[in-house]
């Protein structure tokens, strides 16, 4: 080989090395030298296998989708408490690790329910009255005209004018969300909610919702407003009744929108009322600093999901592996990691899994009304939601995390710095970061003035709120990486003598600044 050829080959090798190096910088690289020695043992404790093991149980069919309330939800609570107990957390509830809420609830009473349609000379007595939803004790009408509108026809209903459906029954159907992809569900749900808003203005005497599949049983229990001033699953202005009957479906399908189909007589008895026992699960790792140990950093997630679909063939269980089994097992894993530290962080760290987020953030609202640790000494909440799936509808989300309301407080900056140290990008999504701030349990703490945010990896993915959200679709390696980011961010907050503050220059944070001032009078 000539000297010139040798030089050329060496130059090519150098160019290739430089090109590969440039590619490697396209993703942030971990800067382990920037990680505090005390935090390294914390990060080493977080295990892919441990996360997989926890989630394969919590998102299994055994727990039946963890509806609020349900047997599966109770089993999940016991499992989480066992994890806290195993790690050595101090119990912080009224019953060991459980903060118990006795919640008024109602379930449909099919006994004596009758719906009868008359169309010309034909009479249809409905086969299955599935559920009622009304603020009244009973629903009873005779010979009321029935008008059809589909859920995509909200504007047509609005065009009728306020009160136009008074004295009439509206026959319609809700969208079948399980038949849609993850990206389709959100728009369909918003279309349905918009339709209901228009219907309220038209004020029908009753809304009859048809189901297209035979039910396996009654629709789910609904939770009632436990006290005035807090809106929890409010009853609609018009009573709603869900029903199944193939003859009514054919009548509905054959009619034109806005057409008077028939008349209806119905009697629906009162719901069966009872008290449901619901539980937040709470454990604490006490701080080591004599002064700062009486201040608290919260790490939270909701452990409930949607339960079991009441009809249809095939898989009917909403396992909720990503939403929010991933956040729940992350809380359990982080609790174990922090409990193993010696010495402990300066501030106390509280680990909470909430019930009832899917029913309106019920568990976190309950905690906000009944805080175990004083709100005025609670300095931060980092809520974990959907941190397991990376197959976002907008594209793969590997090595990234999004914080809702990222620039509302200093917590966002703290987590961005932690992400830089670990090679994880912490982003503000241009559309979802602010829009989703109010759509998870962080909102309940923010309303009390606590700087609180939700960390998320995939906002929307193919099985969002579908029966296909299973534990084997989780990217466990990436979830462990994100959990290490959370661990480092929480560690830094708990070690700092300065508490994170709301961003007073951001107008979107103004109401939370005012809430904070109520608990911190000068």
Contacts (Cβ under 8 Å, ≥6 apart) of 214:
128, 244, 311
Domain ranges of the chain: 31-101+277-519, 113-272
Band the pLDDT of 397: cuts 50, 70, 90.
very high
Task: Say if CB 398 and CB 489 are below 8 A apart.
Answer: no
Tokens describing residue 292: 């700062």
Of 103, 88, 84, which is closest to residue 355 (Cα–Cα)? Answer: 103
Looking at the domain 113-272, which fold is it? Glucose Oxidase; domain 1 (3.50.30)
User: Could you read off the pLDDT of 49-62 as tens digits, one per residue?
Assistant: 999 999 999 999 99
- Taking only the tens place, the pLDDT of each residue in 153-194 is 999 999 999 999 999 999 999 988 777 776 787 788 889 989
pTM of the prediction? 0.86
pLDDT in tens, 63-78: 999 999 999 999 999 9
Quick one: CATH architecture of 31-101+277-519? 3-Layer(aba) Sandwich (3.40)
Whether 458 has a pLDDT exceeding 60, the answer reads yes
Q: Measured at the alpha carbon of residue 404, what is the angle toward residues 56 and 282, in degrees to the nearest 5?
A: 50
Phi, psi of 218, deg, nearest 5 = -70, 155
178 vs 421: which has the higher pLDDT:
421
Q: What is the pLDDT of residue 237?
A: 66
Band of residue 260 on the pLDDT scale cut at 50, 70, 90: confident
Rounded Cα distance, 55 and 79, in Å: 11
Q: Looking at the predicted structure, is the pLDDT value of residue 32 above 80?
A: no
Lowest mean pLDDT among 127-141, 195-209, 282-296, 337-351: 127-141
Phi, psi dihedrals of residue 180, rounded to the nearest 5°: -105, 155
3-state secondary structure of 366: helix
Q: How far apart are CA 375 and CA 519, in angstroms?
A: 7
Angle between helices 326-339 and 48-58 (to 10 degrees): 130
What pLDDT does 236 receive? 57
pLDDT range class, residue 228, cuts 50, 70, 90: very low
Rounded Cα distance between 187 and 165, Å, is 26
Give the DSSP H or E segment for 392. strand 391-392
More confident residue, 360 or 332: 332
What's the pLDDT score for residue 131? 79
Which segment of 331-335, 414-418, 466-470 scores lowest on mean pLDDT? Answer: 466-470
Reported as a pLDDT band with limits 50, 70 and 90, residue 245 is very high
Under the phi-then-psi rule, with left for phi > 0, alpha for psi from -120 to 50, and beta for the rest, what region is 60? beta
- The three-state secondary structure class of 328 is helix
Q: Looking at the predicted structure, is the pLDDT value of residue 86 above 80?
A: yes
Residue 439 sits at the vertex; the CA angle it makes with 434 and 445, to the nearest 5 degrees, is 90
Question: For the ranges 193-197, 350-354, 437-441, which has the lowest average pLDDT?
Answer: 193-197
Q: Give Cβ neighbours of residue 357 (< 8 Å, ≥ 6 apart).
A: 302, 304, 324, 363, 364, 440, 441
| 263 contacts 145 by C-beta, under 8 angstroms | yes
pLDDT of residue 167: 93
Rounded to whole angstroms, the Cα distance separating 52 from 487 reads 18
Most confident of 15-24, 29-38, 134-143, 156-165: 156-165
Between 226 and 509, whose confidence is greater? 509
- The string of pLDDT tens digits covering residues 461-497 is 998 988 999 999 999 999 999 999 999 999 999 999 9
Contacts of 313 (CB under 8 A, 6+ apart): none
Q: What is the pLDDT of residue 12?
A: 54
Q: What is the mean pLDDT of the chain?
A: 89
pLDDT at residue 440 tops 50: yes
pLDDT value of position 15: 42
């Amino acid at each position: 080989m000539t000297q010139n050829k040798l030089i050329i080959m060496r130059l090519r090798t150098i160019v290739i090395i430089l090109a590969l190096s440039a590619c490697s910088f396209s993703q942030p690289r971990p800067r382990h030298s920037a990680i505090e020695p005390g935090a390294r043992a914390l990060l080493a404790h977080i295990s892919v296998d441990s996360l997989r093991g926890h989630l394969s149980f919590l998102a299994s069919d055994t727990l039946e989708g963890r509806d609020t309330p349900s047997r599966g939800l109770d089993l999940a609570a016991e499992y989480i408490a066992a994890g806290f107990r195993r790690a050595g957390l101090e119990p912080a509830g009224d019953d060991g690790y459980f903060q118990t809420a006795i919640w008024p609830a109602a379930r449909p009473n099919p006994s004596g329910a009758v719906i009868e349609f008359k169309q010309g000379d034909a009479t249809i007595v409905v086969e299955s009255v599935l559920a009622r939803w009304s603020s009244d004790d009973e629903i009873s009408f005779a010979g009321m005209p029935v008008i059809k509108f589909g859920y995509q026809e909200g504007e047509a209903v609005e065009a009728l004018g306020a009160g136009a459906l008074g004295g009439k029954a509206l026959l319609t159907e809700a969208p079948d969300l399980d038949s849609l992809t993850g990206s389709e569900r959100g728009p369909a749900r918003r279309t349905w909610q918009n339709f209901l808003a228009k219907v309220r203005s038209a004020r029908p005497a009753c809304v009859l919702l048809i189901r297209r599949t035979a039910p396996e049983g009654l629709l789910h229990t609904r939770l009632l407003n436990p006290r005035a001033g807090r809106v929890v699953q409010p009853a609609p202005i018009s009573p709603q009744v869900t029903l199944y009957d193939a003859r009514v479906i054919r009548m509905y399908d054959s009619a034109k929108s806005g057409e008077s189909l028939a008349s209806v007589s119905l009697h629906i008895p009162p719901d069966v009322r009872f008290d449901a026992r619901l539980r937040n699960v709470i454990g604490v790792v006490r701080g080591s600093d004599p002064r700062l140990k009486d201040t608290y950093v919260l790490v939270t997630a909701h452990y409930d999901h949607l339960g079991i679909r009441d009809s249809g063939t095939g898989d009917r269980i909403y396992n909720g592996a990503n939403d929010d089994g991933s956040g729940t097992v992350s809380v359990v894993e982080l609790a174990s990691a922090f409990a193993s530290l010696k010495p402990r962080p300066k501030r106390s760290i509280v680990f909470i899994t909430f019930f009832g987020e899917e029913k309106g953030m019920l568990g976190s609202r309950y905690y906000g009304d009944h805080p175990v640790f004083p709100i005025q000494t609670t300095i931060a909440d980092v809520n974990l939601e959907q941190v397991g799936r990376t197959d976002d509808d907008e594209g793969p989300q590997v090595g990234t995390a999004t914080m809702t309301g990222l620039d509302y407080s200093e917590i966002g900056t703290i987590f961005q710095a932690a992400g830089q140290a670990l090679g994880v990008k912490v982003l503000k999504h241009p559309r979802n970061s602010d829009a989703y701030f109010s759509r998870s349990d962080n909102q309940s703490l923010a309303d009390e003035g606590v700087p609180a945010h939700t960390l998320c990896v995939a906002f929307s993915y193919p099985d969002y709120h579908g029966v296909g959200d299973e534990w084997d679709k989780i990217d466990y390696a990436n979830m462990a990486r994100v959990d290490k980011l959370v661990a480092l961010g929480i560690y830094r907050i708990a070690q700092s003598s300065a508490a994170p503050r709301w961003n007073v220059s951001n107008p979107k944070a103004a109401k939370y600044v005012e809430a904070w001032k109520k608990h911190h009078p000068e």
